[in-house]
Amino acid sequence: MSLAVTGAVHDGEVVGLRAENGLIVELGPGVQPQPGDDHIDAAGGILVPPLINGHTHAAMTLFRGYGDDLPLMRWLEEKIWPIERKLEPEDVYWGTRLACLEMIRSGTVRFWDMYWHAPAAARAVADAGLRATVAAPLIDIDGRREEMREAARRSLDEIVVAGDRIDAGLAPHAIYTVTEDSLRWIAELAAERDFPVQIHLSETEQEVIDCLAVHDERPTRYLDRVGLLSPRTVLAHGVWLDDDELELIAERGAVVVTSPVANLKLAVGAVFPYPRARAARVQVGLGSDGPGSNNSLDLFEDMKVLALIQKHAANDPAAIGATETWEIATGRRAPLLGAGAGLDLGHPADFLLLRADAPELSFGELPAALVYAASGAVVHSTVVAGRALMRDGEIEGAEEVLAHALERARGLGLAPPVASPASSA
């Protein structure tokens, strides 16, 4: 399979790009399509690296508009956890396909997913053509230790065979939903088989208070003591981390993925201490968190909010710049997230073409236009492994995905029923 892009603008220069077998083989002025190439005429569109969503629960697209405006624990305990017990693999498959559709549309090509029936999510990502690190959550404070461990082990084996664009991982939900014994078990399994681990950490102040009360140490120190703070670890949120914790995270080589929109929506009471994390040399990525608590998967929005909330919290408009924000959103400040080494020969042919006619991109410096003015609507084409998943706004099979997702949501009692002719009269 080969692809050629002509007439794209990259770093201010008109270039072409050719990809063969998923890799970039030519990039520069004068590159022309070869016989047999799939050809995209970018017509002056801007060539940029794609976005990386470092933390989400993709299939929760089905839960949009369900239990909005509740505090985190009430939202989980009263709304989300009860309905999640009814989920079947097909619900997760179509919920994840819908999420992939939205991500392709808004320029995200790789994401870190933590959700039930993870093998079904992995299958959805493979079928959608995206990349992901997929992990089944583990929660065992309800006493289901052996059952959850067996499910985690089984799902790892099933995810591994989902395809070469899918990586398997482990996902203890949080330190307050997983026993110390199981956290240690996960740490050993991750080290033994070299799997990445994602966990929610320090999202609310209550989590810190409870951890101090039970373990007499802060969440990051506790996680380190059970062996789970390593260069394979992705920590979601980290809103309440103190300086000692940030230094420890940097020292261990773990990554923090901040989800500013979800933090604001769930009113967690503070802002991720980005300037202090940067000073401590912590690797940082950006995540949307689940579409049940964001509720969008358009990472352009999260990117803008990240920059604005950091400036606001620091009372300093220079607290974070547009270029830095763009680097975080494209995964270049946290290699573990899997962004790759960028647009160059021999690297994976993952990229976006942005609309040449987008008014938001017409003036000023590009990173600033992307971070402060653009939305996902500026994405013209999304290419993963040399395959155009979206071309001029068109995604093959999009209507079918939406119809199936709606049907699954209705089956869970979460979407309005189809209006009958009598009721619409």
Residues in contact with Zn ion by the rule CB under 5 A: 289
Q: Of 15 and 297, which has the nearer Cβ to Zn ion?
A: 297
Nearest to 38 by CA among 330, 339, 346, 396: 396
CB of 55 to Zn ion, least distance (A): 6
Burial class (CB in 10 A: 0-12, 13-18, 19+), 65: exposed
**Pairing mode, if any, of strands 13-20 and 233-237?**
unpaired
Report the residue number, 2 or 202, with the smaller CB distance to Zn ion: 202
Give least dist CB 92 to Zn ion, A.
15
**Based on CB atoms, which residue is closest to Zn ion, 136 or 379?**
136
Q: Contact 186/177 with Cβ under 8 angstroms?
A: no
60 vs 120, beta carbon nearer Zn ion? 60
16/137 with CB nearer Zn ion: 137
Q: Residue 182 or residue 263: which is nearer to Zn ion going by CB?
A: 263
DSSP state of 394: B
Give which of 95, 157, 91, 168 is closest to 131, Cα–Cα.
Answer: 168
Residue 17 vs 122, nearer CB to Zn ion: 122
Select 48 or 208, whichever has its Cβ closest to Zn ion.
208
Q: Is the peptide bond before 53 cis (omega within 30 degrees of 0)?
A: no
Shortest reach from residue 10's CB to Zn ion, in Å: 34
Angle between helices 89-105 and 398-411 (to 10 degrees): 140
- 74 phi-psi bin (left φ>0, alpha ψ -120 to 50, beta other): alpha
19 beta partners: 3, 24
Nearest residue to Zn ion on Cβ basis: 289
Least separation in angstroms between residue 237's CB and Zn ion is 7
- To the nearest whole angstrom, how small is the minimum distance from the Cβ of residue 95 to Zn ion? 15
CA–CA distance, 308 with 331 (Å, rounded to integer): 19
Question: What secondary structure does DSSP assign to 354-378, as a single string?
Answer: E-TT-GGGSSS-HHHIIIII--GGG
CB of 246 to Zn ion, least distance (A): 20
- The structure tokens 């006493």 sit at 143
The 3-state DSSP class for residue 49 equals coil
Does residue 202 contact residue 209 with C-beta atoms inside 8 Å? no
CB of 287 to Zn ion, least distance (A): 8
In whole angstroms, the minimum distance from the beta carbon of 198 to Zn ion comes to: 9
Specify whether the CB–CB gap between 355 and 390 falls below 8 A: no
